[in-house]
């Protein structure tokens, strides 16, 4: 999201008033529910991360941990209350120890040391004692999280991007934030990111090691909303609110923010997030519309496809169905499958969408699922492909898991973990891979 709790409350309330009522039914094409684990409407669900069979689903009141190798209610290992909007999450395992990281961008009373279950801990009146930034948990026993450390970052952490720097036995985090005047040391123009270093053998000693300046015109240089890195090609796609950027991250502790490739597109309302194709040829930037208007009238809220080599715009795309008042693509990733570019993305009131842009000049939707709640249409925050299924965290509905049921839908490369904003490996997919790569599926079953 490109603002804080206030905007989200407006979004949810508007969705309740303007979208279909309790009698509405889920609508879909090419997708079906595999299983769901709802929790609402009292929670605001946010981002997802996966490690093996463990799925962590963030929400504004904490996070839920699932074991997807289990069935039924046994899948939920813990519903851990630790207030800290947005509570975007990522995971990393080192020597058998699983670590969980969370972004906190709403001031918390004593939040650096206390994991409050109380929503009244959100405050702007606690002065220097207010905490915003990155929280670190030990999740080695997934049913019993242990809070290790809070690292304060200026203007908090709206989102974060994990960069494994294993040669130096550490993780780096690019912390994205921007000035809202709500926390300490959070003043305009805040044209920077924070880099947090987490020593893998001593995560409790994590600290901020740098605050690189963002190179952009004054009206843009307030910070970035989200950053996606592709380690194999040493590039970052930074969504810096009113401008997209490419950075050289050959030295990840010193990203080339001052020598950025600038992408200025007045048809993008808010640059929200990005996804690289797995061959490194193209990137999809996502637009989060905040004009509070109809999709057809404002034209915002699309995906925009750019060529990485020269930042050339190839095309844009909007899903072809009503979405309510916010026509916005949110968080997604690209399926690592041979011979095709296929984006999975959350689209708020538009649900989860699957877009084929194998021809980057001609993207088109091939599947979708729009869920509902007792209050109307669902509001999907994050949708990601992971090992043959699509996992969606919905603001009001909770966790949904989908199967693609398209003819000849291949499930793609198998991963052992997923932090969606951290793309690690380059897949070039040789002609032989078109025959040997992945498992072909027809209507959910292996093809003969």
What are the structural domains, with CATH classification, of the chain? 24-446 (2.130.10.10)
Predicted confidence (pLDDT) at residue 437 exceeds the cutoff of 90: no
For residue 436, the model assigns a pLDDT of: 39
Sort 448 into a burial class: Cβ within 10 Å, 0-12 / 13-18 / 19+. exposed
pLDDT, mean of residues 177-198: 84
C-alpha to C-alpha distance for 291 and 40, rounded to whole angstroms? 27
Q: Any idea what DSSP says for residue 161?
A: E
Percentage of the chain exceeding pLDDT 90: 66
Q: How confident is the model at residue 42 (pLDDT cuts 50, 70, 90)?
A: confident
Which residues lie below 8 Å from residue 92, measured CB to CB, with a gap of 6+?
51, 98, 99, 101, 162, 164, 171, 200, 417, 419
Q: Which long-range contacts (CB under 8 A, 24 or more apart) does 256-265 make?
A: 257/193, 257/212, 257/213, 257/214, 257/215, 258/212, 258/213, 258/215, 259/215, 260/214, 260/215, 260/216, 261/311, 262/215, 262/216, 263/306, 263/311, 265/304, 265/313
Nearest CA to 94 among 129, 134, 53, 140?
Answer: 140
Predicted confidence (pLDDT) at residue 85 exceeds the cutoff of 50: yes
Distances (CA, A) of 328 to 236, 318, 364: 22, 9, 17
Give phi and psi for 232, each to the nearest 5: -65, -25
**Stretch among 7-11, 207-211, 213-217, 419-423 having the lowest mean pLDDT:** 7-11
C-alpha to C-alpha distance for 310 and 71, rounded to whole angstroms? 47
Q: Where are the alpha helices (DSSP H) in 211-361?
A: 295-298
CA atoms within 13 A on the CB side of 118: 8
Which residues lie below 8 Å from residue 366, measured CB to CB, with a gap of 6+?
30, 342, 354, 355, 356, 406
pTM of the prediction?
A: 0.90
CB 373 within 8 A of CB 40: yes
Residues for the chain: how many in total?
Answer: 448
Percentage helix, strand, coil for the chain under 3-state DSSP, each rounded to 5: 10, 45, 45
E strands along 203-259, which residues? 207-210, 226-230, 235-239, 244-248
3-class secondary structure, 70: coil
CB 159 within 8 A of CB 58: no
Q: What's the chain's average pLDDT? A: 86
Residue 122, both tokens: 């959100």
Query: Between residues 13 and 45, which one has the greater pLDDT?
Result: 45
C-alpha to C-alpha distance for 177 and 27, rounded to whole angstroms? 35
pLDDT, mean of residues 225-245: 95
Sort 428 into a burial class: Cβ within 10 Å, 0-12 / 13-18 / 19+. exposed
Nearest CA to 196 among 99, 282, 300?
Answer: 99
Distances (CA, A) of 413 to 256, 281, 410, 416, 417: 31, 18, 9, 10, 12
* DSSP strand pairing (244-248 vs 409-410): unpaired
C-alpha to C-alpha distance for 196 and 409, rounded to whole angstroms? 40
**Segment holding 6, helix H or strand E:** helix 5-18
For residue 366, the model assigns a pLDDT of: 95
Residue 190, both tokens: 């805040």
C-alpha to C-alpha distance for 4 and 2, rounded to whole angstroms? 7
Distances (CA, A) of 208 to 108, 173, 178: 19, 9, 17
Q: How confident is the model at residue 17 (pLDDT cuts 50, 70, 90)?
A: very low
C-alpha to C-alpha distance for 317 and 214, rounded to whole angstroms? 28
pLDDT tens figures, 380-421: 999 999 999 999 999 989 999 999 998 766 678 899 999 999
**Stretch among 99-108, 184-193, 376-385 having the lowest mean pLDDT:** 184-193
Query: Between residues 218 and 157, which one has the greater pLDDT?
Result: 157
3-class secondary structure, 210: strand
């Amino acid at each position: 999201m490109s603002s804080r709790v206030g905007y989200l409350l407006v979004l949810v309330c508007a969705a309740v008033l303007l979208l279909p009522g309790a009698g509405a039914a889920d609508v879909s094409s090419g997708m079906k529910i595999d299983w769901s684990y709802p929790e609402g409407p009292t929670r605001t669900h946010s981002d997802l991360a996966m490690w093996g069979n463990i799925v962590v689903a963030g929400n504004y009141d904490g996070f839920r941990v699932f074991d997807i190798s289990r069935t039924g209610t046994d899948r939920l290992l813990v519903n851990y209350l630790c207030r800290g909007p947005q509570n975007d999450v990522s995971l990393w395992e080192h020597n058998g120890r699983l670590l969980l990281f969370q972004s906190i961008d709403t001031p918390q009373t004593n939040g650096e040391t206390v994991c409050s279950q109380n929503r009244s801990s959100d405050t702007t009146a606690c002065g220097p004692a207010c905490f915003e930034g990155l929280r670190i948990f030990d999740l080695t026993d997934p049913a019993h999280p242990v809070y290790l450390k809070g690292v304060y970052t200026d203007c908090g952490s709206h989102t974060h991007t994990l960069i494994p720097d294993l040669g130096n036995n550490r993780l780096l985090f690019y912390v994205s934030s921007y000035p809202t005047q709500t926390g300490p040391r959070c003043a305009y123009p805040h044209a920077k990111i924070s880099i947090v270093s987490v020593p893998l053998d001593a995560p409790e000693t994590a600290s901020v090691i740098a605050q690189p300046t963002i190179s952009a015109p004054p009206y843009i240089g307030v910070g970035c909303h989200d950053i996606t890195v592709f380690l194999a090609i040493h590039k970052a796609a930074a969504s810096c609110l009113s401008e997209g950027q490419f950075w050289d991250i050959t030295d990840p502790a010193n990203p080339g923010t001052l020598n950025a490739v600038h992408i200025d597109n007045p048809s993008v309302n808010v640059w929200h997030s990005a996804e690289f194709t797995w061959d490194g040829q193209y990137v999809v930037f996502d637009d989060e519309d905040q004009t509070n208007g109809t999709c057809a009238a404002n034209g915002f809220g699309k995906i925009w496809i750019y060529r990485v080599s020269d930042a050339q715009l190839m095309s844009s795309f909007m899903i072809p169905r009503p979405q309510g008042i916010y026509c916005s693509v949110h968080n997604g990733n690209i399926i690592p499958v041979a011979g095709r570019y296929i984006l999975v993305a959350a689209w708020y009131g538009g649900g989860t969408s699957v877009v084929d842009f194998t021809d980057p000049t001609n993207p088109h939707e091939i599947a979708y699922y729009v869920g509902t709640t007792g209050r109307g249409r669902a509001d999907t925050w994050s949708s990601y492909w992971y090992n043959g299924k699509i996992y969606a965290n919905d603001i009001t509905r909770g966790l949904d898991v989908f199967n693609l049921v398209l003819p000849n839908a291949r499930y793609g490369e198998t991963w052992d973990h997923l932090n969606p904003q951290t793309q690690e490996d380059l897949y070039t997919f040789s002609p032989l891979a078109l025959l040997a790569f992945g498992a072909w599926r027809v209507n959910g079953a292996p093809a003969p």
